Structure 1
Amino acid sequence: MKFNVTIDRDENGIWVVECPSIPGCVSQGETKDEALENIQDAIYQCLQVRAEHGLPLTIETRQIEVAA
């Protein structure tokens, strides 16, 4: 499965990665590569927990265009 993720840096320079289609699925790392590796494990574990609790595995996300 493929998931879109967002990548950002916090005020301390830590890379924060979030998977918007899985509520609460967030990870981080000292480098961008580390953060991306960590989110893969977080996605796997979030999907397992959601399945165990009978929750939908993902929520729908879309891209929209906003006129500036």
Structure 2
Amino acid sequence: MNRAALRLSARVREVLEEAARRPDRGDISTTTVIIWVAAVTGAVLIAGTIALVIAKYNGQLNNL
């Protein structure tokens, strides 16, 4: 158990040192995440609306 804790603390130290050396690592910005979440939410809402309309009018669509 001690070995795992020592390895974990050493790894955390390495990551923090790397972050201090290279502050801009190309992380995704908050704006990009917001745009992607909005796009996916919009697509799901549109698909759900289409599915509801098709389910509601399915009987009438079969007679066309």
TM bucket (normalised to shorter chain) is 0.3 to 0.5
Which entry has the higher C-alpha Rg, 1 or 2?
Answer: 2
Query: Higher relative contact order by CA 8 Å / sep ≥ 6: 1 or 2?
Result: 1
- Using structure 2 for the length normalisation, give the TM-score: 0.35
- Using structure 1 for the length normalisation, give the TM-score: 0.33
